[in-house]
Amino acid sequence: MNVTRKNIDDLNAVLTVAVYKSDYTYKVEKMLKEYQKQTELPGFRKGTVPMSTIEKKYGRPLFLDMVNKTIQEDLTKYLQQEKLDLLGNPLPVKNDNINWDAEKIEFDFEIALAPTFDIDLGSIKDLTQYKISADDKMLEDQVARIQKQYGKMIAKDTFEKGNDVSGTFRNEEKAIDAPAQFSLEIFKDEKAVEALFLGKKVGDVVTLNTKGLFEDDHQLMDYLKVSHDDVHGLDINVDFTIEEITESEPAELNQELFDKLFGEGNVSSVEEIKEKIKEDAEKQFETQSNQKFLNDVTEALLKSTKFDLPSEFLKRWIQTVGETPLTPEQAEEEFAKSENGLRYQLIEGRVMSQNNLQLNFQDLKAYTAEMIKKQMAQFGQMNPTDADVDGIVTRVLSNQEEAKRISDQVMSEKMLNLYKEKVSSSVKEVTYQEFIAASYGE
């Protein structure tokens, strides 16, 4: 292995790989002899084609292939031996003046080194961990939704307050032809939309503007079936043709409904239903609260952790990594989009190494087994055997994509626990609406 390194600065270096004829000439000659044995040409029997003809036809491609393999092998060995923490991959330095007949040929490669820095989690101050509670209004609303969901649907001729509708959204310009069924509470301004529907009959058309129609523009994908590229700021009129109007007669809150919802004998009163709803909702809220805390710590780390990146190298590297090479302008744009993500990957890696956060197969198995048990419980399998669970765990983790997804979840949980321990924060109890307002300023 003949590789030397010249450091340009703390983040950039050049590797020079020297390739000697003696390293590969004998290999090329051996392969040419094998080609000679197999080659048939007009006027020559198999194996009798002159070596000069074989060399003329195959010599240069074999030579170049062997040089390339030697370079790649030497580079790989060097990087493994030196344990360099690289950003991107080595970039060959263009050289139009290579003497391919020389005894020694040198090839230069630019590399970018990951920056070195330390993380001080204790320096992050004044963050909030939200404890979200399900208030009485939320519980009442959820009970009402359950009654509506399990109630009797009655067909109506004319739309009145509280009715549901089904029909089709249409817009010729965007080729929208999307069947939908909904209640008006899905819309951002429910009262304004309700005013458009009141008194309408089956067959009537209601025209809605898409701008600000929902709290989240992504809901346009669900109801109008438009692409993700179209939803942001979409400002068009869509016609909704009413095909059915229904009114829900709420289900009676009795033992029959309780058993249907929670299993026979598990719940016997509305108050117990609310307790179940509260328990389930606050588990979901905890997940959202944890994610916000993770996001807040991430943002704080990005602001407080300063280090340089080998930006010019990375822009050149970005030009080369896709199926289609990018222009310098396109690479500049892609780098701007990905810079914060790259910075946090480096920060996260440093947090993990400084705090010895590691992931092992037993962690994955335990986490996956717990996840599977919860899923089985949702379908009434409350006491699965260890053998059944282990079998499913093995199948799940044999899928590389699933194993990667679960690995990310487990490491995220480890990071969350670390941040809760090390980062200065206060706990604040809020309702879900107060949490939304704190999260999104609404």
DSSP assignment letter at 106:
E
pLDDT per position as a tens digit, 135-178: 999 999 899 889 988 988 899 999 999 899 999 999 999 999 99
CA gap 258, 46 in Å, rounded? 86
Question: With contact defined as beta carbons under 8 Å apart, do 331 and 319 qualify?
Answer: yes
Question: With contact defined as beta carbons under 8 Å apart, do 360 and 406 qualify?
Answer: no
CA gap 263, 267 in Å, rounded? 8
What is the residue-wise DSSP string for 380-434? Answer: T--S--HHHHHHHHHHHHTSHHHHHHHHHHHHHHHHHHHHHHHS-EEEEEEEHHH
pTM confidence score: 0.69
Among 316, 323, 330, CA closest to 90: 316
According to the model, what pLDDT value does residue 6 have? 95
DSSP assignment letter at 86:
E
Residues of the chain with confidence (pLDDT) below 50: none
According to the model, what pLDDT value does residue 441 have? 65
Question: Phi/psi class of residue 10: alpha, beta or left (left: φ > 0; alpha: ψ in -120 to 50)?
Answer: alpha
- Structural domains in the chain, CATH included, are 3-113 (3.30.70.1050), 152-249 (3.10.50), 269-440 (1.10.3120)
Beta strands 425-431 and 127-133, pairing class: parallel
* Joined tokens for residue 191: 């009262």
According to the model, what pLDDT value does residue 374 have? 83
According to the model, what pLDDT value does residue 352 have? 94
Which residues in 144-223 belong to E strands, given as ranges?
152-156, 164-171, 176-183, 205-209
SS3 assignment, position 101: coil
Compute how many other C-beta atoms are within 10 angstroms of the C-beta atom of residue 331: 20
pLDDT per position as a tens digit, 100-135: 888 899 999 999 999 999 999 988 988 999 999 999
CA atoms 373, 374, 380, 382: torsion sign:
positive
According to the model, what pLDDT value does residue 404 have? 92
